[in-house]
Amino acid sequence: MAPGERNIPRPTEYVKIDRKRDTRRDGKLSFRLMEPMEEVVYMDRVRLLAVDHPASVEVYPNEFFAANPPYPAFR
Summarize the confidence of residues 16-38 as an average pLDDT.
78
> What is the pLDDT, as a whole number, of residue 54?
93
pLDDT recorded at residue 36: 74
Cα separation, 14 vs 74, whole angstroms: 9
Q: Which helix (H) or strand (E) holds 26?
A: none
Nearest to 42 by CA among 17, 67, 10: 10
Q: How far is CA 2 from CA 5, 6, 70, in A?
A: 6, 8, 22
Section 39-68 average pLDDT: 82
Query: What pLDDT sits at residue 56?
Result: 93
Q: Is the pLDDT of residue 55 over 80?
A: yes
Specify the 3-state DSSP secondary structure of 25.
strand
pLDDT (0 to 100) of residue 1: 67
> Beta partners for 25?
28
Q: Residue 17 has what pLDDT?
A: 82
Q: pTM above the 0.75 mark?
A: no
